[in-house]
Amino acid sequence: MKMIFKRLFIIPNALFAVLILVQLLPDKPYRIKDYPLYTIGLAVALEVILLSVSFFVKKERFRRVFTDVVGVIFVFLIFWVLATIKFDLPGNAKQAVFPPPGAVLDRFVLDFGQILINVKDSLALIFKGYLIAVVIAIPLGLFLGWNTRIGDAAGYIAKFLSSISPIVYIPYAIVLLPTFHHASVFVIVLASFWPILASTVSGVLNVEKPIVDSAKTLCVGRFTMLFQIILPAALPHIFIGCNQGLSVSFILLVSAEMIGARSGLGYYVNNYANFGNYTNALAGVFTIGIVVTAITFLFNLLQRYLVRWKQ
């Protein structure tokens, strides 16, 4: 009984009630039309999931994280609703730029088919660029890091180059590469290439010497040393760069798809924003957020599997 109270009277549940009550306030006139039922529907769906998680999930840590995340989403939605249709924003805020959540959700549902196609195209672009970066950067980083003569210098050079935004290279990419699509892929490749290269080089330089000695006494060849000893030993470190590269890829997706793309989430956001339709643009922005979260989650699973041997 005590446990039920403890799990029922948590802040996110109170926030849920506030979010529902806020909808009862009168709307300010002349705003973008809101569809509060969508907001309420989303809130109820989250609340149902939250309740079932807090009563049926045994893992303490998962429960805590999930509760906190849902709480933050509720707070965000409350402020969003209040700021866009219930009160006047300070300053000379343009109303068209601030659609209420219900309107964005409405477009999301109406345009869902189109959005899915764009998700698919963007993922294909990122996958292509990211894969090329991984396939080149990791072996190159292993080679550079292992050759102690150039390893230190390579680390610094990679760090320097990784600090330059790939957007700078866009005009060169357009001039040098055969199609706009190639240029888009190139931007993603660069976005992930330098962080992965830098972390691979420093990962190799940080491999514990006894591991290398142990491998040397077993007379491993050059190829075995690089790919069966150094690569796995440096892998936890390499993953730092891979994670970073993945985030930068998604950040640059919009820029990459500015280059003559005819589809993709970046194109979708850009296109609607250019025409002043921020309701659809925001639907695209949130879709990117959801996709990034899902990809990061899967990526973390992969990482946990590949370095399962580490304490």
Give the footprint of other proteins on this chain (CB under 8 A).
208, 210-211, 213-220, 228-229, 232-233, 235, 307-311
Closest separation between CB of residue 297 and other proteins, Å? 23
The upper half-sphere exposure of residue 61, i.e. CA atoms within 13 Å in the direction of its Cβ, equals 0
Closest separation between CB of residue 147 and other proteins, Å? 18
Closest separation between CB of residue 298 and other proteins, Å? 21
Closer by beta carbon to other proteins, 30 or else 223 = 223
How many whole angstroms from its chain centre is CA 101? 21
Closer by beta carbon to other proteins, 26 or else 210 = 210
The upper half-sphere exposure of residue 97, i.e. CA atoms within 13 Å in the direction of its Cβ, equals 5
Closer by beta carbon to other proteins, 3 or else 219 = 219
Closer by beta carbon to other proteins, 25 or else 211 = 211
Closer by beta carbon to other proteins, 92 or else 311 = 311
Closer by beta carbon to other proteins, 201 or else 233 = 233
Closest separation between CB of residue 216 and other proteins, Å? 5
Per-residue burial over 1-13, b = 16 or more CB atoms within 10 Å of its CB, e = otherwise: eeeeeeeeeeebb
How many whole angstroms from its chain centre is CA 59? 25
Closest separation between CB of residue 215 and other proteins, Å? 8
Q: Whole-angstrom Cα distance, residue 155 to residue 272?
A: 41
Q: At what angle do helices 112-146 and 231-251 cross, to 10 degrees?
A: 140
Closest separation between CB of residue 230 and other proteins, Å? 11
